[in-house]
Structure 1
């Protein structure tokens, strides 16, 4: 396994000025992108893992949660990289003006393919975490690519979990989902469509933005690594009660 220091040596070093520019782009464009963020050899390791995982799932949709599930791929090492985690802490400070919590991720690797590619696409949602990073690992070169779709910064951070829950209930119903899909097909001007490139790093306010992905062709593979940071309702007693209900 490659240690954290070696990973940091292969990642771009981002100055505070660069982070401020990224912050401004997220607020104005809805997202920011750092091209070629992942070293080609590290990206290849991730792609090999995805290929094997898809083959093991008989070419159907598969998802991995947590660093342990992707151990040895580079994605687990990235999650503990000082250079990578500093992006999140600095963005947090710029956004909220206070000391960020320790950077710990809710980490997911999604591999869209087969029949599950359509079933697990075009589901518009808010994330539970303030900052979301997305690293495309494998993106189809032809046909449906599974573009990232975003209605950016459509709500504020809610002071109470109950209000956040109401937002999600209003979003997660057939009528709202139908209307959002219709707007996506009409190329609505408020919709941001991102053609993702493997190895690039994309960041956005996942909690504040309605987002989803388009499907890819069933014979193709679209794999993305997601890093979620900072749950504003982590101390909510209502959230804890619902979780254990």
Structure 2
């Protein structure tokens, strides 16, 4: 992925609401955690209301300037008051639900200040380079993906989520985690991994549907996004929760350096609201 910094256009604030997702979505946290552990992925069907999706689609189609970029990742997007993402994470049931699922998946996981990490990710058509799919691991115990716009094309060309579920355990030692990510998150390894015949039986490909929400362990599952067709726009809101190595001084130091780099990028681009993809400068800690 390329690093992209671009200002976001002003968007009219969305009226606050105590509840955004449908009633009852959070009633089965234990069942969701069991599905994630057994199958690698849990789908929460029809939990995202039409009005919320409409507001989110209006924003990504009219208020985000891609400026020809193939991909855009807006970090901490839900921290922007008045946006559809802030409205969702402010739902009083979302944080407890993610906490329960993360705890069920990983006993003793850290929660820091309890904040949900968020990203707005946009993909504009197919990749323009010969680079392999961006397979990676997340730093958090669970990842929740909410599709906003998903293109429709042939299988394998519709922006599907592809993952090798629960491929690794939660690592006890942060050094093991870092070394593992150094190995698995480079282009040579990614190419070798997807071409190895023995891996094909392990892969899970999920066609994402707006209106649903998808939960998996981003820390344990090696995952990526399949290509989108030309002329299409793919948009997802991604939420992360549960720090597996929250007490690590090493990772905290790395993250401090990453924050400094990102602030420097924002300063150079002279924009208070920018999108910075995290794979290049934060691929070990994130």
Return the match for 1:27 from 37, 51, 58. Answer: 37
Distance 2:129 2:46 in 1: 28
TM-score by length of 1: 0.87
The answer to whether the 8 A contact 1:88-1:103 is kept is: no
Residue pairs, 1:1-245, within 5 angstroms = 1-7=14-20, 10-14=21-25, 16=27, 18-54=28-64, 56-60=65-69, 61-67=71-77, 71-97=81-107, 101=111, 103-114=114-125, 122-143=133-154, 144-183=157-196, 188-244=200-256
Higher mean C-alpha displacement, 126-135 vs 73-82: 73-82
Deviations 1:94-123 (A, max 9, x none): 223458635311110110004657678711
Distance 1:231 1:180, change over 3 A: same
- Structure 2 unaligned regions, length at least 5: 1-13, 258-286
The answer to whether the 8 A contact 1:109-1:226 is kept is: yes
Offset of residue 67 of structure 1: 3.3
Offset of residue 243 of structure 1: 4.0
Higher mean C-alpha displacement, 96-105 vs 23-32: 96-105
Distance 1:21 1:242 in 2: 35
- Structure 1 unaligned regions, length at least 5: none
The answer to whether the 8 A contact 1:129-1:228 is kept is: yes
Higher mean C-alpha displacement, 186-195 vs 202-211: 186-195
Distance 1:119 1:105, change over 3 A: farther
Distance 2:123 2:194 in 1: 19
Q: How many residues align?
A: 240
